[in-house]
């Protein structure tokens, strides 16, 4: 019997700029994270951006990145700065954090 290999996990850290606060952006990210089976967190930042840190399988993270670039209907994303890192496995779920 062939052994099924689990895809390696990765981490996506992103900062989303534009009209992304007060438009349901964090709830949108939370829904995407649940749909894509990702763990981590999202929070507003004092500078008006939204910060996202998620871990999971790379294809799911790439879908999340595409979703961040689009945003919910009421938003207007102007930029997404992001970086890929190795997953640490420190998150057991996804959460919405306080502004930081």
Active site residues: 26, 44
CB count, 10 Å around CB of 63?
16
- Backbone torsion region of residue 73, taken as left when φ is above 0, otherwise alpha when ψ lies between -120 and 50, otherwise beta: alpha
Strands 94-96 and 9-19: unpaired
Q: Which residue's entry shows tokens 């990765």?
A: 10
Sign of CA dihedral 20, 22, 24, 30: positive
């Amino acid at each position: 019997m062939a052994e099924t290999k689990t895809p390696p996990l990765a981490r996506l850290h992103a900062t989303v700029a534009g009209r992304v606060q007060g438009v349901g952006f964090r709830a949108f990210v939370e829904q995407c994270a649940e749909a894509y089976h990702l763990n981590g967190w999202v929070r507003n930042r004092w500078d008006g951006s939204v910060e996202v840190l998620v871990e999971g399988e790379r294809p799911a993270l790439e879908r999340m990145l595409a979703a961040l670039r689009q945003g919910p209907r009421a938003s207007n994303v102007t930029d997404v700065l992001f970086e890929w890192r190795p997953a640490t496995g420190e998150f057991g779920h996804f959460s919405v954090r306080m502004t930081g």
